[in-house]
Structures are given as structure tokens and as C-alpha cells.
């Protein structure tokens, strides 16, 4: 019996890791919790996920020649959280931007740099210091409470990097903003790079 091309997407080795992460995070958010607890426990869960590079389907690892890719991996049915893979080609990055919800960033492959900003009294944006570098397995957090404005780029000049981002909402539908250095904001809604989702719920392959 022939199989569709989608079959390979639905049943990659290790997809159970993503399923376990999604269900564990849903359990965490099932009860009202302070944001600090969500970020602390969520960081540990994400670190466990990105400690292994054997579960992300190939379709969600492909860079684009001109811009970074934001692939949706899962969105909670109540839009309490979403999980995406960010794929950065060499030299690719974001403008300065915000999120307006809490977020966790874990590097799966390669290396990622981020530079945080704060708004000065005159409305301009001021860098908070030298860019931070995240390596595979490392996780950082953002939120309007602890700092929400940054720019991010691939730290590697010769190959793609991939990070897994988790947000406290459906990030592809959240109205956010990019910023010029003078603080001028431009609203945007990011959407997603692909309409295809990995099937994490099929247990027939014992993944």
C-alpha cells in the first residue's frame, strides 16, 4: 500500500518528545499561576525538549533564502500557548520587536544571538548591553514584565540555526510592533510560514 508524502511528516522519530512537552505545558496552564512560575517551570520543560535534536520533522527545519521562517508546531485549542520553530539562514535576523505575551526561547540547533532594549525617558530605545548568545539546550525568557523588546539573529555565518519558541498566546495572531531606534512603532501580525502541522497525536507508531 502506498503512503502519502505527509506520512513521513506525521511520524518522525522522537515526535513523542513534542507531544510530551505540549501535554506537560497544558497541565501547567490548567490552573491559574503566577507568570514567574510559568516561566520557571516552562523553561525546565523546554530545556528538556531542546536537549534532544531527534524529533523536529524536516519540513519545519527548512530555511528561506531571504528571511527567517516561523513554523507553527502546535497551538493550544484555547490559544493559551503556541509552539513554533524559528529557522534562521546565515545572516538572517529580526528587526527590533516586542511580543506582548510571555515567551520562552530554546535553541535546538546552531546558535542564536539576542540584544535587549529598554525605552528611555525621551521615547528612544536603548540597548541593555552586549548581545546574549544562546547555544543548543539553553533557554531564555521574555515578557512585558521582565523585558519584552529585543532583536534576534543567527549567530552562525555559514549555516542555519533553529530555535523553539513558546508563547503565552497564539503568537501568529497577536498584534505586535517592530521599532525604529527612535522608538517609532510599526504594528504587525506575524502569521506563520506554513499551514502544515506535525501530527503529534498518532500513537500507532509508538513514537
135 is in an annotated binding site: no
Angle subtended by helix axes 35-50 and 15-28, to nearest 10: 170
Using the CB atoms, write b or e for 146-179: b if 16+ within 10 Å. Answer: eebbbbbbbbbeeebbbbbbbbbbbbbebebbbb
Q: How many CA atoms are closer than 13 Å to the CA of 62, on its beta-carbon side?
A: 7
Using the CB atoms, write b or e for 64-103: b if 16+ within 10 Å. Answer: eeeebbbbbbbbbeeebbbbbbbbbbeebbbebbbbbbbb
Instruction: Select from 105, 158, 167 the least CA-distant residue to 136.
Output: 105
64 is in an annotated binding site: no
97 is in an annotated binding site: yes
Give binding residues as ranges: 97, 99, 150
**Which parts are annotated binding residues for Fe cation?**
97, 99, 150
Amino acid at each position: 500500500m502506498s503512503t502519502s508524502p505527509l506520512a513521513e511528516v506525521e511520524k518522525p522519530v522522537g515526535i513523542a518528545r513534542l507531544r510530551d512537552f505540549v501535554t506537560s505545558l497544558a497541565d501547567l496552564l490548567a490552573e491559574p499561576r503566577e507568570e514567574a512560575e510559568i516561566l520557571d517551570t516552562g523553561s525546565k520543560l523546554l530545556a528538556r525538549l531542546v536537549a534532544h535534536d531527534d524529533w523536529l520533522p524536516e519540513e519545519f527545519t527548512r530555511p528561506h533564502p531571504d528571511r527567517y521562517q516561523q513554523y507553527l508546531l502546535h497551538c493550544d485549542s484555547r490559544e493559551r500557548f503556541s509552539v513554533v520553530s524559528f529557522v534562521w539562514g546565515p545572516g538572517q535576523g529580526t528587526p527590533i520587536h516586542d511580543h506582548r505575551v510571555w515567551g520562552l526561547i530554546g535553541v535546538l540547533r546552531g546558535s542564536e544571538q539576542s540584544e535587549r532594549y529598554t525605552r528611555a525617558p525621551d521615547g528612544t530605545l536603548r540597548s541593555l548591553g552586549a548581545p546574549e548568545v544562546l547555544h543548543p539546550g539553553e533557554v531564555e525568557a521574555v515578557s512585558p514584565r521582565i523585558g519584552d523588546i529585543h532583536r534576534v539573529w543567527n549567530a552562525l555565518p555559514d549555516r542555519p540555526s533553529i530555535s523553539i519558541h513558546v508563547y503565552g498566546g497564539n503568537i501568529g495572531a497577536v498584534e505586535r510592533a517592530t521599532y525604529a531606534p527612535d522608538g517609532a512603532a510599526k504594528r504587525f501580525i506575524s502569521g506563520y510560514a506554513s499551514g502544515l502541522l506535525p501530527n503529534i497525536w498518532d500513537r500507532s507508531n509508538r513514537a
